[in-house]
Structures are given as structure tokens and as C-alpha cells.
Amino acid sequence: MKIVVTVVGFVLIFLTGYWLYRVGQPFNAGMLTLHKLISVAAIVYLVVIVLNINKMAPLSKGELIACIITGLLLLGAVVTGGVLSAAKNLPAVVQTLHKVLSILTVLSTVAMFLFSRRR
């Protein structure tokens, strides 16, 4: 169930993100809000999952490292997303960074679930 909700969340984030990218600036306010809201909801959901897992039994070193890496990647995606939505005429690298960080976040989240699959 946790995996299904997480997958649906990421699919919605990527769909709304791709839509924003295709339409370009000025971004549609509704779609941008939806993209941000789903992102924040997914982050809160992942934090709650990690806290619950940690309550059952403290996180192993591998799990902790996977959580920290995922958290940092998510933070990077949020920061680059914030910059993209707030400024115009940015260097293309910001766009690329947002995309790369998003993909790495998904991979890192998969790793996080794999690390904790025996719980």
C-alpha cells in the first residue's frame, strides 16, 4: 500500500512537472500549485513512513544513509523547483538539475524501500 501511494505520488509529480515543462513560462498557476502540493504531500508521506519504520526498530546504518541521501535529493529538487518557478531567463543547467535531481530522488526512494523491505 505504501509503495502504491508513493508510486502514484511520483507519477503525478512527473506528469504535472512534464506538463509545466511543455507549456513553459509563464507557468500555469493551478498546475504549478498542484505540482508543489503533490511534492510536499509526497515528502510528508515519506517522512511519516520513515518515522514509523524507525519507531518499530531503529533504522540500520544502510537505511539511515538511504534516507539522508533521499532527503538531500528531495531538498535539491524543491530548491531548484522553487528557483525555476520564481525566476525567468535562468541558465539551462537549473532546468537540467531539477530533472536530474527528480530522477535521482525516485531511484533513491526505491533504494530506501529495498533497504527496509524485510520489516
Interface contacts to ligand HEM, rule CB under 6 A:
13-14, 17-18, 20-21, 24, 27, 32, 35-36, 39-40, 74, 77-78, 81-82, 84-85, 95, 98-99, 102, 105
Shortest separation between residue 104's beta carbon and ligand HEM, angstroms: 9
Contacts for 21-26: CB closer than 8 Å, 24+ residues apart = 21/95, 25/88
Instruction: For residue 4, count other CB atoms closer than 10 A to its CB.
Output: 8
Shortest separation between residue 16's beta carbon and ligand HEM, angstroms: 8
Phi-psi region of 44 (alpha: psi -120 to 50; beta: other; left: phi over 0): alpha
Shortest separation between residue 56's beta carbon and ligand HEM, angstroms: 26
Q: Which lies closer to ligand HEM via its Cβ, residue 54 or residue 85? A: 85
Shortest separation between residue 59's beta carbon and ligand HEM, angstroms: 22
Q: Which lies closer to ligand HEM via its Cβ, residue 32 or residue 53? A: 32
The amino acid present at 104, given as its one-letter code, is L
* Residues 46 and 53: beta-carbon distance below 8 Å: no
